[in-house]
Each structure stands twice: as structure tokens, then as C-alpha cells.
Chain A
Amino acid sequence: MELFGIFFAAFLINNILLIRFIALCSFFGVSTQIGTSIGMSFAVIFVMTISSAVSWVVYHFILTPFHLEFLRTAAFILTIAALVQLEELYMKKMVPNLYRAMGIYLPLITTNCAILAVAFLAIDYKYDFLPAMVYSLGVSFGYSLAMVLFAYVRERMALAPIPKWFQGYPIAFITAALMSLAFLGFTGMFGL
């Protein structure tokens, strides 16, 4: 039940894009087409789960025993950058189909702040290993949900008559505001 609560809170109530405002560059950058937004979402689910597991281990088994907690910023970002490279090499060799599907999104992920943020937040919330995994899964599913929904809206919006000054990014932000309003409706569900 507790794990379900962690998952649900990360998935909808504290949606990483629309409520927490993390990883917005990718939210506005790759959401112009449904195809690219789906590719990016899968890449995020994949990388986020692995990297938060590895950074949890790095923090609790390398940094904490040696009292090097102050190095966490540098340690996490280097871990993630190295990990993304390794994953890319591995996928290219072992699962070329999957690699072709999300290939170009993988390098972009190093600079996706959601990955780093989840690593930090799992430490800040003092989660154990399993809750940390559930939390990062919840966050990445929440990311995908918001991303794909937003891409659907933006594809339809391309055909809509929009006032001249609002075309492009301004109207995208206002659309995001309406979606964020809808997500605020989940607040307080299940007493979370």
C-alpha cells in the first residue's frame, strides 16, 4: 500500500512536468509530434529506472561510507553521463531495433534534468532501494503520460486559428497551464 502511494503520488499528484516543473526543455522541445514524444518517453522510462538504481547504490555504498556526500552533484552527473553512453553501446549491439527506435533521444537524455532530479529526490526523501525504484518508475510514467497527451494537443493545435502574437510557444505554455490545472485535480486523492 505504501509503495502504491509512492507510485501514485509520483505518477499523477506530483507530476514531474506539470506540477514539479522539471525537464521542461524536453517537454516543449520534443512534443511537437506524437512519434517523437513517444520515443522520448520510452527512452526516459528506460534510462531513469537504471540510472536512479545506480546513483542510489553510488550514494549509499560509495559516497556515504567515505563521508563524501558533498560530492553527490558531481558524482551523479558523471554517473549518469557514463551510464547513458554504456546503455547506448549495449543497445546498439544487443537490441538494434530498440536502438533505432530511441537512438537519437538517448544522448539528449544526459541533459534531461528529470533523470538527475529523481536521483536527488530519492536521496532527499530517504527512500530505501525498493521505494526508490517504485518512485522513479512512477515519475517516468508520469513524464510519459503528460508528454504524450501534450503532443496530441499540440498536433491538433497546429491547425487551429490562433491570434498572431500567441502562435508558437506562447500558446503552448497556455495549453500546458490548462493541463496543469487538470492535474491539480488529483491533489488530495487517497489522502496523499
Chain B
Amino acid sequence: MNLWKDFNAGLIKENPVLRLMIGLCPTLAVSNNATNALGMSVAVAFVLIGSNWVIALIRKVTPDEIRIPIFIIIISTFVTICDYIMQAFYPTLYAALGVFVPLIVVNCIILGRAEAFAYKNPVLNSILDGIGMSLGFALALVSIGVIREILGAGSVFGIALFNPTVAATIMILPPGAFITIGFLMAALNKMEKKVL
């Protein structure tokens, strides 16, 4: 039951992007189409689950005073692994995500979960927390990506739905990202009031 709660929290109630307002930079920058959004979500999930796992594993032997530098080194190790795997196997995706792959290291979600959860909880719970948080991040990122791609390019995951000449190109340009997340948050506010 407890394990389920750790897994579930990240999805909606503590959704990192739409609720806690962290990890915004990659969310807005790479959500111009659904494929990039999914690629970024997988990269963040890999780093988050990996770093949560290692940090929970060594939490008993980590000196309290220097825990933050240790977290950062663990996280940047996973980011470097992810960086090189993507560069080798998915060069087009890597080119589209650009500087945001190395920037995962300063993504507040990852250091935030390390400090708030993985450092205080056993390995299994930490891994589940990592999976839940990554799914919450992916949910927000992919839904923004899908909305922007449909409205801005008339397609989903590159599959054309309607003639792109009638699509609003503004949605795949930078302002579209701000508009989409603004309306999505307003909708979530409204839904939450209705449920309560």
C-alpha cells in the first residue's frame, strides 16, 4: 500500500511540472512535437530512476555535510551516460534536443527527489518514486507536445491528421509553449475545484 502511494504521488497530486512548477525549461523547450517530448521524458526517466536508485543505495554511508556534491556527481554520471547513448544511437533526436540533454543535470526534479525522497527512503521505494515522478513528468510533457503538434503542424508523432496549411504555426513556435501550459494549468485548477 505504501509502495503504491510512493508510486502514485508523482502522477497528478504532486505532478512535478503542472503542480510543483519544477523542471519547466525542458518541458517548454522540447515540447514542439510529440516525438521530442517522448524522447526527453525517457532521458529524464533514465537519469531520475538511476540516480534515485544509487542515492538510496549509498544513503547510509553518505556523510551529511557533503551530500549535495555527491548527489550532483551521481546525477552527472547518469546524464553523461544518457548523453553518449543518445548521441550514438539516436542522432536526430539528440540534435533536436540539443543543449537540453546535458542540462538534465540541473533539472530541479532530479536533485529535488534525491534530497526529498531517495536520501531518506529504502531502495525499492526510491525506485518506485522515480518511476512515478518520471511518469508524471512524461504525462505533462507528452500532453503539451501532442497539443502543440496537433494545433501547430496538424499531426501526431509525425502522422499527418489534416492539411498543415490551416494549422496555427504559432503553436510550434516559442509563444505556443507558454500559451499551452497556461491553459493546461487553468484547466487543471478548474478540474480540481470540481472534484473537491
A116 touches B105 (CB 8 A): yes
Collect the chain B residues with CB atoms within 8 Å of residue A163's CB: 186
Give the CA-CA distance A78 to B24 in the complex, in Å. 23
Tally B residues with Cβ within 8 Å of A: 41
Collect the chain A residues with CB atoms within 8 Å of residue B187's CB: 165
Q: Which of B52-60, B76-84, B159-167 contacts A (4 or more CB under 8 A)?
A: B76-84
Report the number of A-B residue pairs with Cβ-Cβ less than 8 Å. 111
Q: Hey, what's the 0/1 contact readout for B23-59 against A, CB within 8 Å counting as 1? A: 0110011000000000000000000000000000000
* A20 and chain B: residue at smallest CB distance: B29
Contact of A113 among B79, B103, B181 (CB under 8 A): B103
Q: Which of A39-47, A93-101, A127-135, A170-178 contacts B (4 or more CB under 8 A)?
A: A170-178
B99 touches A177 (CB 8 A): no
Q: Nearest Cβ in chain B — how far from A136, in angstroms?
A: 14
- Whether A111 contacts B80 in the complex (CB less than 8 A), given A124-B99, A184-B173, comes out as no
Tally A residues with Cβ within 8 Å of B: 40
Does A77 touch B at the CB level, under 8 Å? Answer: yes
Does B73 touch A at the CB level, under 8 Å? Answer: yes
Q: Which of A23-31, A50-58, A137-145, A151-159 contacts B (4 or more CB under 8 A)?
A: A23-31
CB within 8 Å of B: which residues of A? 18-25, 28, 70-74, 77-78, 81, 111-113, 116-117, 120-121, 124, 163, 165-166, 169-174, 176-178, 180-181, 184
Listed by A's residue number, 6 A-B pairs whose Cβ atoms lie within 8 Å are: A22-B99, A170-B186, A172-B182, A176-B178, A177-B175, A184-B175
